Chains A and B, each alone.
Chain A
Amino acid sequence: MNIKILDSWLRDFVKTKAAPPKIGELLSLSSVSVERIEKYGNDFVYDIEVTTNRPDLMSVVGLARETATVLKLNGINAEFVPPKFTKPQTPKINLIQIVNDPKLVNRICAIVMEIRVGKSPKEIQERLEASGTRSLNNLIDVTNYVMKTIGHPTHVFDFDRLNTKTLTIREAKKGEQIKTLDEKDYVLNGGEIVAANDRNETVDLLGIMGLENSVVTEKTKRILFFIDNNQPTKIRKASMALGIRTEAAVINEKNLDAELAYDALLFGIAMFARIADGKIVSDIIDIYPNKIREHSIEVPLEKINQVIGVDVDPEKALRSLSNLGFKAQISGGKIKVTVPSFRIGDVEIEEDIIEEIARIYGYHNLPSILPPQTGVIPHLFANQFYFEQRVKNALKYWGLTEVYSYSMVSEGLFEGPLEQAVEISNPLSEEWVYLRKTLVPSLLKIISENKSQETIKIFEIANVYNKKVNDLPEEVMTFAGVIKKDKISFFEVKGLIEQLCYDLGIKNLSFKQSEKASNGSSIYIGKEYLGEIEILDANLIDFELNFALLLKHATLQKEYQPLNKFPPIVEDLSIAIDADVETEAIVADIRSQSNLITDVDLKDSYKGSRTFHLSYQDPEKNLTNVEVSKIREKIISSLKKRFKASIR
């Protein structure tokens, strides 16, 4: 969350000669990020990002405290001047009774005042406008000005329009209709914190926005100034569900210091008196069921130095802590710290104190040191990531382009029955609902989205998700590709997979006629199913493989074979054979005839004939023609007998 404040406003509470750029730089390094400093007339405006754990810094006072602390530690003169509040004289009159529900609201501070509606002084208008808040009238302006200064949101009702003896805090019922002060209609979901009048009409959506039926107008004479410190989760839930993200809601949904509520009340009363002729006409109401309990933390100095990595001066550390509002002292080698109310939600353990000391010391003042290596952690070179990269590189150099598509797909892209799908219960769009079980549909979508390209070769390696009962889905690393090319050959894709497996040291790869796809092949490593090649049409082939299985078998291990001393004899063998006989069966049959056959390759295939390239080699001696022709005859007679083949 961001806050914008004028430099002059900040200087109401911090006295220093430091220039805005210096303040911005040092705040960024040690406190909050000053994202921009811009000139604003004769002034400067700081645009500051505040982290969610520091709602106390969504205020000029909070930032002034940090500024003073940070400047001082960097040797620049600065003094934090906190605002002083005095409880005004109030008549002992109760004009309204507030019935609180302590489960919903931690504290309510309120008062009734007579006022005069008008414009705010120029300075107030300017400060608000510079911080991005429109100046409306002096009543609304006071609520915003108090929030910005003190850090606690406030609200103002038109007391006469409320027209009630009691204000009851309760949870909204589902279906309740309201109109917010910006005249928008909402139907409540139930559970929102609301205030109701005597007639049980909802008159406020607490912590988020006031309602049209009780908001101040140009005719307002009396106001109920109202400060509510709410249960933050209730505010968050309601604000998100209704989509009303006011500044008040954003602050109220954090752990906001309830002590600030009373400060805000007193500051507001004084502001109404100053700029709206405000006169107090009731006693102060302060309902405070959920009081904050202070706590203290002890940290050994030794630990502080160990975590920060340098030895810090304990006296300096103490000064920083006390400048930040902590009560701190050293005894027995420990720093003992009492946490101020505005930091209770944020500072709870030793490490929180170390952070305070370290950041004010300045992270920029710490050296950069690489952590020393301890112990012996072996590194497995050929791990899954190595092989993944090796495969991707091979594919790249074979002309394929890698894509990344979303793991979540639409109903249309999900393959298989939807009840098998891992489904997102709160999808962002219909495009992204189911976790995919296959990659190919996403790749085919990419093909169709890139119509202008005639040849496309793409691949992706990503997880697919298999649903399991009462357990996380099984995530299987999967490898898929699609090739779109004029008259693409099945064997181009098969060859790619064969070569990839060869490179990964995988030997027992086999291709069978596909049982799944009408046209294609099922691929196995030994008996394990690896995946599928699918011929979609004459120009489009896809494949999808279980990459995890490839990784399981991948190896860099190599085995030395003694080099051959004697040259091989090579020859071609052409046979006429039925086209239904699979080449693999013929090769296996040929090989089985003699262990002197070292290689059998299909060289050519044309209609009813196939030519094989054969190598014969004996590791012990030179083979003679006589020996080779004996083997050849054996081959031929076996092919004849088994496959009714004939020599051509």
Chain B
Amino acid sequence: MLFLKVMEDELIDIKNTAISFILEAEDLESLEETKLQFLGRSGKLTLAIKGITKVAPEKRKEFGILANDVKQTIEDAIEAQKLKLKGQKLTRVIEKIDVTNPGIKPPLGHLHLVTQAIEEITAIFGKIGFERVRYPEVEWDWYAFEALNFPEDHPARDDWETFFIKAAIDPKKGPMLLTPHTSSGQIREMQRKEPPIRMLNIAKCYRRQSDVSHAPMFHQFEGLLVDKNISITHLKGTLDYFVKSWFGEKRELRIRPYHFQFTEPSFEVDVSCGVCLGKGCKLCKAGWLEMGGAGMVHPNVLKMGGINPAKYTGFAFGWGVERVLMMREGLKVDDLRILYSNNLEFLEQF
């Protein structure tokens, strides 16, 4: 018993001595020396701990705990002193540098504006439960037009507006074409799953048009919601949510009558002009900018998708990614095709 007390006192002594040595160390070398002196293979603490064999077996645990404690304290003190000494060194270095010299930057590239827009649109609609999907760009007429209630002689179905593919015409699905809108995904989604449906289809689309406001390849995002008791007020709420999320809370939305084959009623969606905030200016039409189309899914389209229009209603909207991008303040470009010109000077601005 007495013997244990003596040995414990010895450990405390070692600790105190070690700490005073550590605190007095003025450089890293002498600190390292102190470390060896106490914690090295034949250091003072190491030897003292080896004395555990002399302690009665039932007391060894108690002794062991104390020994570990002392060791930990010494190690911590060494680390703390080390940091302190290094810090002094660092201060000395900083005094000599010219902070106005350029920093060494990690590499940083750029994501295309369209990618940035798609990411944001996905997040906005994801928050209200719309799941992103992607459907074929090369599509059958049946999905792109026929099942969407386009009459056979509709102008969009002729050679002047849509790109067709050199391929045999399918007896059921018609000619092969480059899909002119993401709406072809409506039917594919209805075939894939039962209501409730909340789809966000974002994909490349193609139209036979190339001028300052049209590129032959562009992107659309298409929302489709099919459920019981869906009404125009729900569509309006969803559009309002998007407009305020995307453009900011100051911007207003309005829907007004329009005409599309695959929705009834159909709407044109306008957003108040960001420059004049709805008062009317040179850049807008009487205070409003057209964003795109929307509407209640036409009952024939639901039928084509295998959904009973007596049981379910739904709404859909499909807008150009490029269009909503360009409608943001500060992004008005003279020619939309600059997005696909891949001029690096342009891409590196974003």
Contacts and interface: CB of A to CB of B under 8 A. Distances in A.
B111 A402 contact: yes
Nearest to A396: B109
A384 B135 CA distance: 13
Interface string B111-147: 1101100010010001011011010111110000000
B204 interface: yes
B227 A371 contact: yes
Interface string A437-469: 000000000100110010011100011010000
A385 B122 contact: yes
Contacts, number: 231
B317 interface: no
B138 A473 contact: yes
A579 interface: no
A423 interface: yes
A236 interface: yes
B347 A369 contact: no
A392 interface: yes
Contacts of B347: 401-403
B240 interface: yes
A382 interface: no
- The SS class assigned to the A binding surface is mixed
Interface stretch (A133-141, A208-216, A356-364, A639-647): A356-364
A428 B208 contact: yes
B248 to A, nearest CB: 16
A202 interface: no
Nearest to A435: B138
B307 to A, nearest CB: 14
Contact of B233 (A32, A308, A377, A424): A308
B51 to A, nearest CB: 23
A91 B218 CA distance: 62
B159 A363 contact: no
A396 B265 contact: no
A397 B106 contact: yes
Contacts of A36: 285-286
A53 B109 contact: no
B63 interface: no
A369 B131 contact: no
A292 interface: no
Contacts of A368: 233, 236-237, 239-241, 253
B340 A309 contact: no
Nearest to A361: B232
Contacts of A423: 165-166
B320 to A, nearest CB: 14
A374 B257 contact: no
B237 A407 contact: no
B132 A385 contact: yes
Interface stretch (A23-31, A529-537, A624-632): A23-31
A189 to B, nearest CB: 13
A383 B347 CA distance: 27
Contacts of A472: 136, 138-140, 176
A31 B257 CA distance: 6
A51 interface: yes
Given A53-B259, A358-B265, A309 B231 contact: yes
Interface of B: 106-112, 114-115, 119, 122, 126, 128-129, 131-132, 134, 136-140, 153, 155, 158-160, 163-168, 170, 176, 178, 196, 198, 204, 206, 208-210, 216-217, 225, 227-234, 236-241, 253-259, 264-268, 285-286, 288, 296, 298-299, 313, 339-340, 342-345, 347-348
Nearest 8 interchain pairs by C-beta: A399-B107, A309-B231, A309-B233, A355-B265, A51-B259, A351-B264, A371-B234, A233-B153
13 contacts: A28-B256, A32-B257, A309-B234, A363-B254, A397-B106, A399-B109, A401-B348, A404-B342, A406-B216, A408-B206, A446-B342, A449-B343, A457-B109
